[in-house]
Amino acid sequence: MRFNKILNSFPEYNPSSAKLSNDLIDLSKNENPFDVSYEIKQIFYNKINQTSLNRYPELTSDSIRQRISEFLNTYFKSYYLNLDKNNIVVGNGSDELISYLVKIFDGEEVIVSPPTFEMYEFYSKLHNLNVKKIPLDENYEINNLDQKINEKTRIVFICSPNNPTGNIQPEEEIIKVLEKGFPVVIDEAYADFSKKSMIKCLEKYPNLIILRTFSKAFGLAGIRAGILIANQEIVRQIMKIKSPYSFNILSEKMVETIIENYEDVLKTIDYIIEERNTLSEKLKGYALKSDSNFLLIDLSKISGLSAEDAYNFFLENKIIVRKYSGVLENKIRVTVGTKEENKKFLDCFNSLLDKYY
């Protein structure tokens, strides 16, 4: 048998060799440190008990799309949105939605601004598209990105707050890109931790597409539920190629449950923001400014210390962080955890400093 030659450019996934155990603190995946409450799980279980699992979910997930639109209208009430189900697409994480977005528009090139979320490039290359990389500036911000757009441009991806750097992108720079009229995706997976959103610009810019997720602030990474918000024509085109019955009924009921009981989520967001700010202050001089639930830590000021050394040191102390290569080879990323987890990380980081200073 013959495989598609494009697969030769894709490496195999190599999961971390670190074996998770009860005494290991995983601060590498930008997960919410808090599971949903027992009470919310009970509401979810009750919904499932009243659901026929032998039946397929709705063909195009209309009910949950409508519920999500109504929730967003409330969640962003200060923006006076008027969304309905025809503005929403649900997917198994934002990744699935990205895979649709690179298909539906015309043009040869996809614009990304590294260092950023790798899946934009992944799905673009998977569909044999040219990826035009316009690196972020020295502050990890887009700068005159609008000047790089031309007739070949298919779609522009902007992650804000950006993963892995953690900072929101300047609104005035995003507006300049939107003004060009080409499709622009603002990935707001971490935006709940910044208390800012470009969703307020949806009505003005029909070329604006917002991606959000229930994995981070809402603590549902195990559910894999992402949402796309856009004008009705973009949604209509995506729904033409989206697999029927593709949003499973367990995810649907869990999302329904969390948006009906999101007051606890707001408290968790405030907790994580407060802990992030505390960590940032204690790591001043090393941590980059973050508007997210993680910090990127610059190790270049510590002579003789590599990110690999730091990763191994933390692992020996039962903490997993994220290490990088390439342009971020001297940096590590750490997720904001609970107060106890963050204290252990800080104690370990100070021990690392003592070892190298």
CATH of domain 47-261: 3.40.640.10
5-30+264-356: which CATH topology? Answer: Aspartate Aminotransferase, domain 1 (3.90.1150)
pLDDT number for residue 11: 82
In the chain the first and final C-alpha atoms are separated, in Å, by 57
Block means of pLDDT (10 residues each) for the chain, length 357 residues? 87 67 89 96 97 95 98 96 98 96 97 97 95 97 97 98 98 98 98 97 98 97 96 98 95 97 94 97 95 96 90 96 92 97 97 86
Three-state SS letters, the chain: CCCCHHHHHCCCCCCCCCCCCCCCEECCCCCCCCCCCHHHHHHHHHHHHCCCCCCCCCCCCHHHHHHHHHHHHHHCHHHCCCCCHHHEEEECHHHHHHHHHHHHCCCCEEEECCCCCCHHHHHHHHCCCEEEECCCCCCCCCCCHHHHCCCCEEEEEEECCCCCCCCCCCHHHHHHHHCCCCCEEEECCCHHHCCCCHHHHCCCCCCEEEEEECCCCCCCCCCCCEEEECCHHHHHHHHHHCCCCCCCHHHHHHHHHHHHCCHHHHHHHHHHHHHHHHHHHHCCCCECCCCCCEEEEECCCCCCCCHHHHHHHHHHCCEECEECCHHHCCEEEEECCCHHHHHHHHHHHHHHHHHHC
The structure tokens listed for 261 are: 């009981």
Distances 309 to 19, 292, 329 between C-alpha atoms, Å: 18, 25, 11
pLDDT number for residue 355: 83
pTM for the complete prediction? 0.95
pLDDT number for residue 322: 96
- The pairing of strands 319-320 and 226-229 is unpaired
Residues 6+ apart with CB under 8 A from 86: 232, 235, 236
Residue pair 15/29 in contact (Cβ under 8 Å)? The answer is: no
Residue pair 199/210 in contact (Cβ under 8 Å)? The answer is: yes
Domain boundaries, the chain: 5-30+264-356, 47-261
pLDDT number for residue 6: 85
- The pairing of strands 25-26 and 88-91 is unpaired
pLDDT number for residue 303: 86
